[in-house]
A = this chain, B = another copy of it.
């Protein structure tokens, strides 16, 4: 399975499909068509067919896909047959929102701790996750064998947080600070720029108006 050659947009949509499959599997549905997956996950039928084609024959023409098999297969592709430990650094509104985000805990993500430099936040607990002193970050990542670090600090601190992540053996970084981070090539880095989402919308509106 050369899954590492799959385009990132497909991976992102697989993640969306799998959430819908999880829901219908819980409801006891056994078979599903690509059209139903498309409708239920808000993706175009053409995209669904194209994406699922990466994984060979999982469905039967005219019958549909076996929900359980397809769901399990997608989870495995996404690496969600494994458990992942996560830390969040920066306990502002965004860090708190992520800690409490149901989408993380519904999957295989275990948020080990939140970290901040602000003493007044130490010991606070969000959905069972405690805020710990930033100084303990490296120690806890190593002790707990944390896989993924999320950065929700101000831009000025983001690189130094990334450096600690790298030195402590973290495998991947999700960065919400609006800046470019330098990390070694073997670290998976993903930057999330929330303004991009708005700008894809304005592009679409503006394009329609120009037509």
Contacts and interface: CB of A to CB of B under 8 A. Distances in A.
A208 interface: yes
5 A-B pairs closest in CB distance = A79-B206, A93-B97, A4-B207, A79-B202, A103-B195
Copies in the complex: 2
Interface in A161-211: 171-172, 174, 178, 180-181, 188-208, 210-211
Given A148-B198, A171-B205, 12 more contacts: A1-B210, A4-B211, A11-B203, A14-B199, A19-B193, A19-B195, A41-B180, A77-B206, A80-B199, A93-B94, A98-B194, A101-B195
Given A1-B210, A79-B205, A205-B172, A11 B103 contact: no
B194 A190 contact: no
A208 B198 CA distance: 32
A145 to B, nearest CB: 13
Nearest to A108: B202
A138 interface: no
21 contacts: A4-B204, A4-B207, A4-B210, A12-B200, A15-B199, A16-B193, A19-B193, A20-B180, A40-B180, A42-B191, A79-B206, A79-B207, A93-B96, A98-B194, A101-B195, A107-B198, A148-B198, A172-B202, A174-B197, A188-B204, A192-B197
Contacts of A46: none
A200 B8 contact: yes
A139 interface: no
A15 B202 CA distance: 11
Interface of A: 1, 3-4, 8-9, 11-12, 14-16, 19-20, 39-42, 77-80, 82, 84, 86, 92-94, 96-98, 100-104, 106-109, 147-148, 171-172, 174, 178, 180-181, 188-208, 210-211
B109 A198 contact: yes
